[in-house]
Amino acid sequence: MKQFRFFFIAITFLFFACSKGGDTTSSTPTPTPTPPAAEAAVAFSVNVDPGTGNILGVVGTSQPINVKVSSAIPASGITISVIVTKDVDNSTVFSTSTSSVAADNNFTITGLTPGVLCTANVLVTSKSTLTNSKALSFKLAAK
């Protein structure tokens, strides 16, 4: 029995003596991912914008416009909305919305009534960052 106790104690010491304690392994820390670059602010112009306080005189009942995006266009594209309303009662005369990845975008505003003052609202919004948008308004009236 004494031999068995001695054997049991010896095995216990050998077990704890063979632990991996003290070995160090160098682990490489995971690098912090770089956040994506911020999107350029949307910038555009409309070729027929008469400027603040001026009214664009339209001959006939339609007016072609070109929305030219001058900022970098996001990879996912942009949405361009054109809404024309009558100033008298705020009713919608013309409305369209389109997706694009091009810098030049042509639209034709239709449904204008001679002698009725209208406001055209053009909104360009990034598809990937909805808060990245710019709006432009101008007055127009058919003669």
Establish if 9 belongs to a structural domain. no
Number of domains in the chain: 1
pLDDT at 16 over 80: no
- Residue 105's domain comprises 44-142
Between CA 100 and CA 78, with CA 133 as vertex, the angle to 5 degrees is 10
Establish if 14 belongs to a structural domain. no
CA gap 76, 23 in Å, rounded? 51
Establish if 125 belongs to a structural domain. yes
Q: At 138, which CATH number?
A: 2.60.40.2550
Establish if 24 belongs to a structural domain. no
Give this prediction's pTM. 0.73
Establish if 48 belongs to a structural domain. yes
* Ranges assigned E (strand) in the chain: 44-46, 55-58, 63-69, 78-86, 92-100, 104-109, 117-126, 133-142
Predicted confidence band of residue 3 (pLDDT cuts 50, 70, 90): low
User: What is residue 87's three-state secondary structure?
Assistant: coil
Predicted confidence band of residue 1 (pLDDT cuts 50, 70, 90): low
Establish if 106 belongs to a structural domain. yes
Establish if 27 belongs to a structural domain. no
Quote the pLDDT of residue 17: 60
**C-alpha torsion sign, points 18, 21, 27, 32:** positive
Per-residue model confidence as pLDDT tens digits over 114-135: 999 999 999 999 999 999 999 9
Tracing tokens 């490489």 back to the chain, one arrives at 28
Q: How many CB atoms lie within 10 A of CB 113?
A: 12
Establish if 12 belongs to a structural domain. no
CA gap 141, 136 in Å, rounded? 17
CA gap 6, 102 in Å, rounded? 86
